[in-house]
Each structure stands twice: as C-alpha cells, then as structure tokens.
C-alpha cells in the first residue's frame, strides 16, 4: 500500500463512525407512504448520478469507498453479510 493509499484508508476509517451514524439517522426518515419508498429511492439514485457526473477519478474513488463502507454497514445491520474488501 502506498503512502497516498494509506492516507485515503485512514481518512475513510476516520469518517466511518460519522458515516454509519448518518446512515442510521437516514434510515429513521421513513416515507409518509410506504408505497412511495421505491420511488423515493429511484429519485435519490437519479440525484446521485447527476451530482457525480463531473467528479474526477480520485474523488470518484473516495465516493466508491464511502459507498462500500455504507453497504458493508447496511449488510451488517440487516443480515450480517460482509461485503468483500476492495482488491488493492
């Protein structure tokens, strides 16, 4: 692992608790109508895609690491399935 990769890993690990707490809080925000949940998810995906359109490669790497962390936390919370670590 290079120094820069170690710095990125350290930064993501440092943010882990805050990101997991934010994810847990977001899960508490339920749609007023459960039938709207899928539509709201689709809207969030569309907004995410639009917001990352112009990110550079390194920032996309950071975003990918954050997404991996959130998926890992979600799997642990819901079904104890661990996401495979990203290959180095």
Between 27 and 64, the higher pLDDT residue = 64
Q: Where are the domains of the chain?
A: 3-78
Q: Angle 59-64-70 (CA atoms, 0-180°, nearest 5)?
A: 130
Torsional class of 14: left (φ above 0), alpha (ψ -120 to 50), beta (otherwise): alpha
Alpha-helix residue ranges (DSSP H) falling in 1-88: 3-28, 37-52, 57-78
The arithmetic mean of pLDDT across residues 47-57, rounded, is: 91
Q: pLDDT value at position 8?
A: 86
Q: pLDDT value at position 81?
A: 46
Torsional class of 24: left (φ above 0), alpha (ψ -120 to 50), beta (otherwise): alpha
Supply the pTM of this predicted model.
0.68
Q: pLDDT value at position 31?
A: 65
Q: pLDDT value at position 56?
A: 93
Tell which residue, 86, 69, 85, has the closest CA to residue 21.
Answer: 69
| pLDDT of 85 above 80 | no
Q: pLDDT value at position 32?
A: 64
Please answer whether residues 66 and 19 qualify as being in contact, where contact means their C-beta atoms are separated by less than 8 angstroms. Answer: yes
Which tens digits make up the pLDDT trace of 27-41? 787 766 777 778 888
| pLDDT of 75 above 50 | yes
């Amino acid at each position: 692992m290079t120094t820069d990769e170690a710095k990125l890993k350290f930064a993501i690990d440092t943010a882990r608790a805050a990101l997991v707490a934010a994810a847990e809080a977001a899960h508490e925000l339920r749609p007023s109508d459960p039938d709207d949940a899928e539509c709201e998810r689709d809207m969030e995906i569309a907004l995410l895609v639009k917001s990352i359109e112009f990110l550079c490669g390194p920032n996309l790497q950071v975003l990918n690491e954050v997404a991996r962390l959130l998926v890992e936390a979600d799997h642990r919370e819901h079904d104890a399935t661990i996401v495979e670590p990203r290959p180095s």
